[in-house]
Structure 1
């Protein structure tokens, strides 16, 4: 059971290093100093080609790196969410992260307090490298795949 005030990721979203992963050093050019401090160029993240990642920049577990490695990942206050966000301002089924066709998208699921990308409320938005997603008190920065 998840503890109050923590961001957790279901174990099904975690992937072990294997033959189908690549060592990737994120491109931090154009990244805010806060994100660069959390994710230095020395950090090596194991991602498959075409995968993206979210870095928690505000909220419990600041600095956590979450891989976007499935077609759909759910985010919300429901304990069965792929990305569990324990905050009263987060809806049980708040948002989804979609991966496919060479793009990454965040989709608001009709949440009460909206999903924001770069400070603007969105129903759905294609994510670009270094976009900031806000869900309740949590802030996540999208790091796109290496080109």
Structure 2
């Protein structure tokens, strides 16, 4: 908040943080269609959405609403990614409270988060995860952004 003359008061940064936060949310949603934005906005607390951005099945959406969700080429995988670059049980997405992480399950081609090969990595809103040829973007429930647990 600022004084009438426009000067910033010490210790009061709520207004600028709010604007920055809104800009960050808007930039994360760049390139996301209206129906996808609505799907993300409708997510209940404790859930998240993966949207395929590159590779086979662009635009496919996968809801993360269980404590453990396995992604792989096996037809019984929770997230079925049908491509030879994906291992049968490639990676798992785990939920702990309102936080999510991805863990590689010993896949041949590895799992990548933010462009780096990882064994395990926390997921934040807008993080890109690569499983084989699939590049998926992680979106947390809007109810959980900024929450801890």
Q: Check whether TM > 0.5.
A: yes
Query: Is residue 68 of structure 1 aligned with residue 60 of structure 2?
Result: no
Q: What do the CA deviations read for 1:21-53 (whole angstroms, capped 9, x no partner)?
A: xxxxxx84222643x247554x24542212111
Q: Return the structure number with greater helix share.
A: 2
Query: 2: CA distance between counterparts of 1:135 and 1:47?
Result: 23
Query: 2: CA distance between counterparts of 1:138 and 1:100?
Result: 24
Q: Shift of residue 115 of structure 1? A: 0.1
Q: Which residue of 2 aligns with 1:31?
A: 28
Tell me how many residue pairs correspond in the alignment.
119
CA contact (8 A) 2:46 2:97 kept: no
Query: Is residue 128 of structure 1 aligned with residue 85 of structure 2?
Result: no
| Equivalent residue for 2:75, pick from 72, 79, 83 | 79
Q: Which runs of 5+ in 1 are unaligned?
A: 1-26
TM-score computed with the length of structure 1 as normaliser: 0.73
| Equivalent residue for 1:58, pick from 31, 54, 61 | 54
- SS of corresponding position for 2:26: coil
For 1:1-147, list aligned pairs within 5 A: 28-31=25-28, 33-34=30-31, 36-37=32-33, 41=37, 43-45=38-40, 46-146=42-142, 147=145
TM-score computed with the length of structure 2 as normaliser: 0.72
RMSD: 2.0
